[in-house]
Structure 1
Amino acid sequence: MAVKKKRAFQEIASKGLKTIILEHDSWMKPYMPKTVWYREDRLLAMLDTFGTVFVKPDKGGGGVGIIRVKKVADELVECKSLKHHKIVPKDKVIALIDTYLKPNKRYLIQQGIRLATINGRPFDIRLMLQRIDHKWELTGLAAKLAAPGKIVTNFCKGGKPYTAKDAVAKVFPNNVSKKMEELKKLAYRVAHVLSNRFKGLRELGIDAGLDINGNIWVFEVNTRPTYGMFRELKNLQMYNNIRRIRKLIV
């Protein structure tokens, strides 16, 4: 019996490229935080507009290299990363950030979103999609609660996996079904838009969040997502299904 050959598996490393493609889709655009390529004047302008922004490496994962830049007073700015935490006068913030950035990397500036919280801990939601042939399947859906004091929710940086529906129910108890359906619809739209451009995509890990008003935002899309966080949920059905499909497509 002939063994069925696996299709090509494509990965897109650039966060900026994926963001640009999603922003060009009129349906997706309202879900996308303002994101631009890093430039000093843009950082100051976005900081004035939004109060909080994130500086992110264009390539990389695990929250490494991300800096939260936040106005804490009229002329004081807090810069916080996984390794550093300083408050400086506004006119010194660019010089400080320059010491954090690696000269051989490109960076993005993303609008800061005030996420909904559980027990004071911000959370976002990972939506995992996979496909063996042409049809995408939403195989994983779980919340990630940021570890105390952390600026990222990543599981590898102490983020706590949490059942997505329970997380949404804690902050928006009257809109659980509506928000869950919106998240799922959003996930399939992301898959549709990106796979129209990149035919070899087989997996997507979408990081989305709900702000304090219940609006949904897409922060990042990974094309080779890790899935260990699903093993930490009480129900292992999603983890086992993701693992089974991963073996078929990688």
Structure 2
Amino acid sequence: MTLNNTSERTYINEIAKRANANGMNCYRFIPTDIHPGSKHIKGEFYNKDADRWESSTFLLPELVYDRCYYQEDFHSKQCQAIVNWMKQSGKTIFLGMGLPNKLEIYRTLKQSSLSPYLPKSEPFTSAKSFIAQLKTDRQLVLKPINGSQGKGIYVVQLLNDNLIISTDKQEKHISQTMSVKSATNWLTKLTRKYQYFIQPLLYLKNENNQPFDLRIFLQKDEKGVWNELSRGMRTGKTDGIISNLSAGGSITSFTEWVNTLPSKQRAFLKEELEDILSKLPALLESTFPPLFEIGIDIGIENNGAIWILDINSKPGRKMVLETKPELAEQLYLAPILFGKHLLSANTFERK
């Protein structure tokens, strides 16, 4: 299930090719394809023999893999409302139920033993209070609470009586200087349309002034056990502010990068990462509904400080495929095998 039929086409095609051999039929649809009265869906069915998608009408599937990336537009909100109804109805099993907004995740983890790894995050309430905070902190980051792929992130700096506002758009770094009055109007307009939260500016750049972070991909196997599939360093454009691959970032081996660090710093980093990974999935699932996979973004400052920057319940596959191409078959089979595990567990519970 996606927001449009062109989303992640290659990945979804590879899953569909393996469905029949594992006793499943594969359908593709958009939430708004569901007829509210009959609950029939006008979507597409994967014909294995012809190796193509064909128009089809079918009932709500017993198992759904939700790959919808919601934004603030009308179509996203419409689809999200339908998906929420699907989850509450209990008529279908979701591979993963997804995570709430970033501020809600922060508030939950802030009460846990992982609190020291979290950058302070607070909701944006008004342009006036934000600018007042800038007079103390000088530089702050604005992030949409429902953001993805690094979109809509701004770094705001107070310099003399002006605000310098920077962002990355379509692989380009854009910076603009505004008066306090103009910035107030801009902030008010921006946050009227989207909900934002505020974080301190962390220095997460390499020696070439490129933003970088560590992405770790975790996924449940056919028995429902969490496993780490890969980890890789994402590096953004010079002078930019985000490292996301969708914004033109590149991927390098974590092993190669970490081996450039002094031995003590390397040992400390590995120990801290193990602490985070051993606790995070269970903490999330103790508060929120079950998950299938997560992408964890870790920021590493020059002074050795480690930060949990983001947790994504619908991570992409590019990082895994580039750092560990030998895992391609495992990636494409994983939703099917975990889905069979869920169906089996559901049958047992009904009995």
Residue 88 of structure 1 and its aligned partner are, at CA, apart by 2.4
Residue 144 and residue 46 in structure 1: after superposition, are their counterparts in 2 closer, same or farther (change >3 A)?
Answer: farther
Aligned-partner Cα distance in 2 for 1:51–1:187: 33
**Partner AA of 2:282 in structure 1:** H
Deviation at 1:49, TM superposition (A): 4.1
What's the CA shift string for 1:81-125, capped at 9, x where partnerless?
A: 2244202244543323334x2634211112211114143312111
Gapped regions of structure 2 (runs ≥ 5): 1-21, 25-61, 64-92, 340-351
My pick for the range that moved more, 53-62 or 240-249, is 240-249
Q: What is the 5 A alignment of 1:211-230?
A: 211-230=301-320
State the AA in 1 paired with 2:124. Y
Q: Is the 8 A contact 1:13 1:60 kept in 2?
A: no
The structure carrying a bigger helix percent of its residues is 2
Give the letter for the 1:178 counterpart.
Answer: F
Gap change, CA 1:242 and 1:52, over 3 Å in 2: farther
User: Aligned partners of 1:180 and 1:240: how far apart in 2?
Assistant: 28
Matches within 5 A, 1:14-33: 14-25=101-112, 27-33=113-119
- How far residue 162 of structure 1 moved from its aligned partner, in angstroms, is 1.2
**2:143 corresponds to which of 48, 56, 59:** 56
**Is it true that 1:67 corresponds to 2:154 in the alignment?**
yes
SS in 1 for 2:168: coil
1:166 aligned to 2:256?
A: yes
Contact 2:216 2:232 (C-alpha < 8 Å) held by counterparts: yes
Stretch of structure 1 that moved more, 3-12 or 191-200: 3-12
Cross-structure match for 1:78: 164
Aligned counterparts of 2:329 and 2:140: Cα–Cα separation in 1: 36
Q: Note if contact 2:142-2:154 (Cα within 8 Å) is conserved in structure 1.
A: yes
Inter-partner Cα distance in structure 2 for 1:122 and 1:15:
21
**Rounded Cα–Cα distance in structure 1 between residues aligned with 2:132 and 2:284:** 30
TM-score (norm 2): 0.62
Shift of 1:75: 3.1
Q: Decide which moves more: 174-183 or 30-39.
A: 174-183
Name the Cα RMSD after superposition.
2.6
In 1: Cα distance, 2:283 partner to 2:322 partner: 30
Distance across 2 between alignment mates of 1:147 and 1:232: 19
Aligned to 1:203: 293
- Partners in 2 of 1:171 and 1:115 — Cα distance? 15
Per-residue CA shift, 1:35-64, capped at 9, x if unaligned?
011123442354344432221111131111
Match of 1:153 in 2: 243
- Classify 1:249/1:181 alpha carbon distance in 2 versus 1 (closer, same or farther; 3 Å): same
Alignment match, 1:231? 321
| Residue 10 (1) aligns with residue 100 (2) | no
Q: Is the aligned partner of 1:115 residue 2:204?
A: yes
Q: Give the paired residue count.
A: 245
Q: Which letter does structure 2 place at the counterpart of 1:63?
A: G
Partner of 2:85: none
Partners of 2:211 and 2:240 within 8 A in 1: no
**5+ unaligned residues in a row in structure 1: which ranges?**
none
Q: 1:175-199, CA deviations, whole angstroms, 9 ceiling, x for partnerless residues?
A: 2132123113212322121011123
Q: CA deviation at 1:240?
A: 5.2
